[in-house]
A and B are shown apart, each in its own frame.
Chain A
Amino acid sequence: MKELISKLNAAPSGPGQEDRIREMIQELVTPYVTEVSTDVLGNLIAVKKPKTAGDGKTIMLVTHMDEPGVVVVDKDEQGWLRVEPLGNLKASDMIGARVVFGRTGIKGVIGVESHVEDKDIAFRHLFVDVGCAAEHKVQGVAIGDVATWSGPFEDLDDDIIVGHALDARAACAVLIEALKAAKSTHTIIAVFTAQHQVGSRGAKVAAYRIKPDLAIAVDVTPAGDTPKAEHISVELGKGPAIKALDGNVVVAPTLVRKIAAIAEKHGIAYQIEVAPKAKSEAGTTLISGEGVPTCGVSIGARYIGTPSCMVSLSDVTNTLTLIVGALTDGAIL
């Protein structure tokens, strides 16, 4: 699992430019699925049909492929690149960040104009420096190119891992492994979505197309176990967090209890996610078309929205066990 997440973490793919991660995931899931396709928004849709006739029911798993990034909006004569954020990023967090452009692989660092007070720093004060002396490099960057963090993946110990794109590549890894492991009487459709960071746009059209009997959104959620954190009960290493509420969905208590019962049956410790400030794809899936019954399972994460998103590997593997349990357990539908 660790190797898989590390591999996924390394594919630079900002919102709307998910090509690298999509190609990688497509290759990884192809051996385990009946069919795999890409839709008009760039969602990767992997379908695993039951071996026998099945029960005609469909469960959709959904997580996002994209990571937050910056988009080039201007390039001056000296080659300094001006950028704006794609996703929920703070300008001050970006100073000194190393970034890579997904389309070309060109690398750069983010600098800031020195006349601005720390508290006033906005994206208009930042620029990307791709090694400005290297004229040919700047020529390779086009307005509209998206850069994402380029830091390495690291394991702090056997359990705790850090990477800039673990939101939500850790969840992508869960979906990939779930496609491999699950033997279900339902059709399983795993959707690796595009454009989550700019408003969960991919999930909405995917849910509309698929019209599943149930959707399960898998993502990371902020943990509250750091000094003076908000009143959030999710902690790293305490198991998958079953979604009760986030910033754009409340899950029916009956559905929350069904997932919890599956966790109990499989002996998996679990937590309940109440994250009013977090945005997930559960909300957009729920309101798609005639409405889709939607629940969610999340992986607790520290430092979301920074280059050092941190999760517990045991939470990831237990999330996988829970998801596979849900897919094989008739009681979920």
Chain B
Amino acid sequence: MPMETSFNGKHLLMRLSDTPGGAGDERLIAEVLEEELSPFVDSIEIDAVGNAVLFKQGLGAQLHPRIMLAAHMDEISLIVMKIDQGGFLRVAQIGGFDPRTLLGQEVIVHGKRRIKGVIGSKPPHLSSAEERKQTVPLTELFVDVGLPEQRVRELIVVGDRMTIDRHPVELLGGRISGKAMDNRASVAAVAICLEQLHKLRAISDVYAVGTVQEEIGSIGAQTAAFRLQPDLAIAIDVCHGETPGVADDLVQQIGKGPVITFGPHIHPKIFERLKQVAITNRIPYQIEVSQGATWTDADPIQITQAGVPTGLISIPLRYMHTAVETLSFDDVQNAGILLASFIADIDQAFVEDLICY
């Protein structure tokens, strides 16, 4: 009998969004997964580069197809580059912030202890007319933690990480806004999938991987795929939701279901099966066509070792790479259900057929 748990996907997403985990320092996210998902999986391990691999064994004595899910755990973050005179911190970014959106943000500096800071720059009154017209580049920004330089140097060293300090909020209409929804939304979707799988009869072995360092080049996904050599892999990431001023063909609808990607980096049979499973199970879905690179973990996974048949599911969100990434929780929930239904639908004949493109 599955043990009774208080699993709640939305609470998990809020908790994951709140938890700091920049690229290269994802262990706190892995800890949350261990805490919340242990009842649903057979084992959890952290590999050589920090990926969290949650393993759930398939049912039955026959050959189990081996499925890898990849959702990156890391969020874009900052790192202390230099402690300037007066104790102001100069920063470099780990992953691609838009410096326009950093100004005025609150951050947490992960020094000897967690220290609050704010991101400042020269005030408009003291800037030239020319300077006011321009975006403040990252090199001109600094973090002010309020302490005198001497004390700053005692508590913070060059190389300490910073993450945005922003608690997620529930907006009306089932929307959630917060930092790091890219890609904790997908991590939550994978968690929902594992919880759902507990109730389904799936014969596949599932390796659900919380990957590391996606934001700086999908590092964890490629080493995990290399080690696991799955029969097929599904990457889960976020995509752009409809936003004023952005052409319709570049974005997906928020709240209209998870997005299934088709394109050269995607195995057509996996795309087709995901779509069929969504239709059969009446799960809303949208389709996105990529012309090549998807800029997700799917890209390197596909060309690992002798090649891995790979699919991609995305959750649409607005304001990507800002502190107010906004999405619909329904899309997260449906992405999890779609993943679980897909996995339950897979048999050995399907994965053997994938070898023939």
Contact = CB atoms under 8 A, between A and B. Distances in A.
B313 interface: no
A286 B82 contact: no
A248 B215 CA distance: 11
A253 B82 CA distance: 17
B216 A272 contact: no
A292 B48 contact: yes
B170 interface: no
Contacts of A332: none
Interface in A57-113: none
Nearest to A213: B48
Contact of A252 (B50, B83, B94): B50
- Interface size for chain A: under 10, 10 to 19, 20 to 34, or 35 or more residues? 20 to 34
A156 B31 CA distance: 52
B82 A232 contact: yes
A291 B47 contact: yes
A230 interface: yes
A291 B92 contact: no
- Interface size for chain B: under 10, 10 to 19, 20 to 34, or 35 or more residues? 35 or more
Nearest to A271: B158
A231 B217 CA distance: 24
Contacts of A250: 22-25, 79, 94, 213, 216
A274 B92 contact: yes
B50 A233 contact: no
Contacts of B92: 245, 274, 276
B223 interface: yes
B303 to A, nearest CB: 13
B220 interface: yes
B223 A233 contact: no
B22 to A, nearest CB: 8
B157 A272 contact: yes
A54 interface: no
B139 A230 contact: yes
B213 A233 contact: no
B49 interface: yes
A248 B217 contact: yes
B48 A293 contact: yes
Contacts of A230: 139
Given A233-B158, A272-B159, A290 B226 contact: yes
Interface in B61-92: 79-84, 90, 92
A274 B80 contact: yes
Given A233-B83, A272-B159, A252 B227 contact: no
Contacts of A274: 79-82, 92, 158-159
B220 A291 contact: yes
A290 B159 contact: no
A287 interface: yes
Interface in B216-239: 216-217, 219-220, 222-224, 226-227
Contact of A231 (B27, B110, B139): B139
B61 to A, nearest CB: 29
Given A230-B139, A286-B219, A245 B82 contact: no
A305 interface: no
15 contacts: A231-B82, A231-B90, A233-B83, A245-B79, A248-B216, A249-B24, A250-B22, A253-B24, A254-B27, A256-B159, A276-B92, A286-B223, A290-B226, A291-B220, A291-B223
Listed from nearest, the 3 A-B pairs whose CB atoms lie closest are A291-B223, A244-B159, A250-B24
